[in-house]
């Protein structure tokens, strides 16, 4: 068994899009219905992917808007980013683009491992951002796109597995495609 890898991931997005809910669903396997605005919380957990164990530090940040100053601590020693908007909020979709641009300015790289997440996909009647709009934004960033619901465990696990895959790719550990399935 190879040595565990330590990876730090920051979760960013507008207020109330479900950053804490996604993180808590992934780490604790439960959905929290109440809304308690976050200042900043760090969660730790482990994830095993293709025989490699990852020790994860997940930084759940306070909701940002277009005027928020991007803290420098979110650009140093971070391996990857989960950028979240809510499919029920156009404002959160606009803000996530601004956050992305500030993030790239701050880290000073053209590309960093990012997964763009359109959360609250279970709220069908309240949806205002289409899947293809989210996908289009992620494509323009050369990032991965997913929609999720923090009510479902599997979609949240997929989000965090995917950011690990992106971090591995950026490290040069490109998954090989064999017989139609991906092997890292
Ligand atoms: N239906 C539904 N509700 C969600 C989902 N994710 C989060 N919520 C609800 O949305 C509200 C805000 O969720 P939070 O996880 O606190 O959002 P946040 O982005 O961490 O908020 P800030 O701390 O203000 O940045 C809560 O009432 C959650 O229960 C989801 O996927 N589906």
ipTM associated with this complex:
0.99
pLDDT per residue over 71-107, tens digit each? Answer: 888 988 999 999 999 999 999 999 999 999 999 999 8
What local confidence, expressed as pLDDT, does residue 179 receive? 44
Residues of the chain with pLDDT under 70: 1, 175-184
**Could you tell which of 13, 14, 20 is best to mutate to test the pocket of ligand 1, judged by most ligand atoms within 8 Å of the CB?**
20
50: left (phi over 0), alpha (psi -120 to 50) or beta: left
CA of 3 to the centre of ligand 1 (A): 35
What local confidence, expressed as pLDDT, does residue 108 receive? 86
């Amino acid at each position: 068994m190879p040595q565990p890898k330590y990876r730090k991931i920051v979760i960013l997005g507008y207020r109330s899009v479900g950053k804490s809910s996604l993180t808590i669903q992934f780490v604790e396997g439960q959905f929290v219905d109440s809304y308690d605005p976050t200042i900043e919380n760090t969660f730790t957990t482990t994830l095993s992917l293709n025989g490699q164990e990852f020790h994860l530090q997940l930084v759940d940040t306070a909701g940002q808007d277009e005027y928020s100053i991007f803290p420098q601590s979110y650009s140093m020693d971070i391996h990857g980013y989960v950028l979240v908007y809510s499919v029920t909020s156009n404002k959160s979709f606009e803000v996530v683009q601004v956050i992305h641009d500030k993030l790239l300015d701050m880290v000073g790289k053209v590309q960093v491992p990012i997964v763009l997440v359109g959360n609250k996909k279970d709220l069908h009647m309240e949806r205002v951002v289409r899947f293809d709009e989210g996908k289009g934004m992620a494509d323009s960033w050369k990032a991965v796109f997913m929609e999720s619901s923090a009510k479902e465990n599997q979609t949240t696990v997929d989000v965090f597995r995917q950011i690990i895959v992106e971090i591995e790719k950026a490290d040069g550990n490109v998954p090989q495609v064999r017989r139609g399935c991906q092997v890292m």
